[in-house]
Amino acid sequence: MNNVIIVTGGAGGIGSEICRGLAADGLKVVVADYAKEAAEKVAAEIRDAKGDAIAAKVDVGNPQSVAEMMAQAIAKYGRVDYAFCGAGVMTRLPVVEMPEDEWDRVLRINLKGVFLCAQAAARHMIPRKQGRSLSIASGRGVAGQARSAHYAASKAGVIAFTKSLAVELAPHNITVNCVCPGATDTPMSRSGMTPEQFKQREEIPPLLDGLTQKDEIVGLVRYLLSDATRFVTGQTFFLRTPK
Ligand SMILES: NC(=O)c1ccc[n+]([C@@H]2O[C@H](COP(=O)([O-])OP(=O)(O)OC[C@H]3O[C@@H](n4cnc5c(N)ncnc54)[C@H](O)[C@@H]3O)[C@@H](O)[C@H]2O)c1
C-alpha cells in the first residue's frame, strides 16, 4: 500500500499505535501532534523499522497550524489519502467547579480540532474525488461522564459532526466515520486516577467490558481503510458498550 495518512494526536498512546501499525502495512504516515519531540520519536521509530514517516507539529485548534500541517504533508508525499483525527484532551472536574476557559480548551481541541482537520483534509480530497476521514469519539459521547462533562460533550459533537460531514462528502466519494474505543491504557485514561483505581480497571477482562487493547483500535482502523468498507460512511463504531 502506497497511501498517505495524517494522524493527529500521533504521538499519543492510541495515535502512536495507529501510526506504527499502519506504517507496518506500508502506508506513509504523517505523525502530527502538538508534542513535537514525541512525534519526532514516533516517526524515527517507524523509519528505523523501514517504514516511511515524518513528524509535523500541529495545534489542531488553530486553522493556520492545521493548514501548515496539510502543506507539510503534501510537500513531502504529494497528497493525503486518509485523515485520522485523534488528538484529544480530558480532565476530570465537576461541572460546578469547571472554569469557563477549561470548557473552552477541551471543546477547542476535541471538537473544533476535528472540524478543522477534517475540513482541511476534505478541501484537499474533494478535487481528487477520493479519501477517507476518521476521528476518535468516545462512548462518553453517548453515555455522558460525571466529572468530564466538557469531554463527553465534545465527543457527542464529534459523533454528530461525523454523520453530518459524511452526508456532505458522499457525493465526492469520501467516507467519514468515527471510532469509539472503550477505556484504553494511555496517559489520558490514567490522568486523574490513582494507580489503585486504574488497577481495578485492568482487572476486568476485556470480554467483560475491561480495557480496550490498542491493537483492537488499530484493527478497526485498518478495516475502515480497507476496500471492505468503501461504502461505509457516517457510522460510529464502539469497541465497548457505552455505559
Ligand atoms: N484513552 C482512552 O481511554 C480513550 C477512550 C476513548 C477515546 N479516547 C480518545 O482517543 C484519542 C487519543 O487519546 P489517548 O488516550 O491516546 O491520549 P494521549 O493523551 O495519550 O494522546 C493524545 C495526544 O493528543 C495530543 N494533543 C493534545 N492537544 C493537541 C493539540 N492542540 N494539537 C495537536 N495534538 C494535541 C497530545 O500531545 C497527545 O499526544 C483522544 O481523542 C481521546 O479522547 C481515548
Q: Report the pLDDT value the prediction gives residue 218, as an integer from 0 to 100.
A: 98
The answer to whether position 202 is within a domain reads no
- Which spans in 78-230 are helix H? 100-107, 113-128, 140-143, 149-169, 187-190, 195-202, 214-224
As annotated, the active-site residues are 151
DSSP 8-state secondary structure symbol assigned to residue 53: E
The answer to whether position 30 is within a domain reads yes
Q: Report the pLDDT value the prediction gives residue 212, as an integer from 0 to 100.
A: 96
Q: How many angstroms does the Cα of residue 127 sit away from the middle of ligand 1? A: 30
Q: Report the pLDDT value the prediction gives residue 2, as an integer from 0 to 100.
A: 78
What average pLDDT score do residues 140-161 get?
A: 98
Q: What is the pLDDT of residues 49-79, one digit of tens each?
A: 999 999 999 999 999 999 999 999 999 999 9
Joined together, the cell numbers standing for residue 38 give: 514525541
43 has pLDDT over 80: yes
CATH number at residue 161: 3.40.50.720
Total structural domains within the chain: 1
Is the shortest distance between the CB of 237 and ligand 1 below 6 Å? no
Per the structure, the complete domain to which residue 34 belongs is given by 4-183+214-235
Is the shortest distance between the CB of 72 and ligand 1 below 6 Å? no
Joined together, the cell numbers standing for residue 234 give: 457516517
The answer to whether position 197 is within a domain reads no
The answer to whether position 207 is within a domain reads no
The answer to whether position 241 is within a domain reads no
Under the banding of pLDDT at 50, 70 and 90, the label for residue 219 is very high
Give the whole-number percent of the chain exceeding pLDDT 90. 97
Mean pLDDT of the chain: 97
Q: Report the pLDDT value the prediction gives residue 96, as an integer from 0 to 100.
A: 98
Return the amino acid letter for 185: D
Q: Report residue 232: phi and psi, to 5°.
A: -90, 120
- With residue 43 as reference, give the H or E element that holds it: helix 36-48
Q: What is the pLDDT of residues 111-138, one digit of tens each?
A: 999 999 999 999 999 999 999 999 999 9
Is the shortest distance between the CB of 19 and ligand 1 below 6 Å? no
The answer to whether position 12 is within a domain reads yes
User: pTM for this one?
Assistant: 0.98
The answer to whether position 201 is within a domain reads no
Q: Report the pLDDT value the prediction gives residue 72, as an integer from 0 to 100.
A: 98
The answer to whether position 142 is within a domain reads yes
Is the shortest distance between the CB of 10 and ligand 1 below 6 Å? no
Choose one of 33, 145, 213, 220 to mutate for the ligand 1 pocket test, by most ligand atoms within 8 angstroms of C-beta.
33
Q: How many angstroms does the Cα of residue 32 sit away from the middle of ligand 1? A: 12
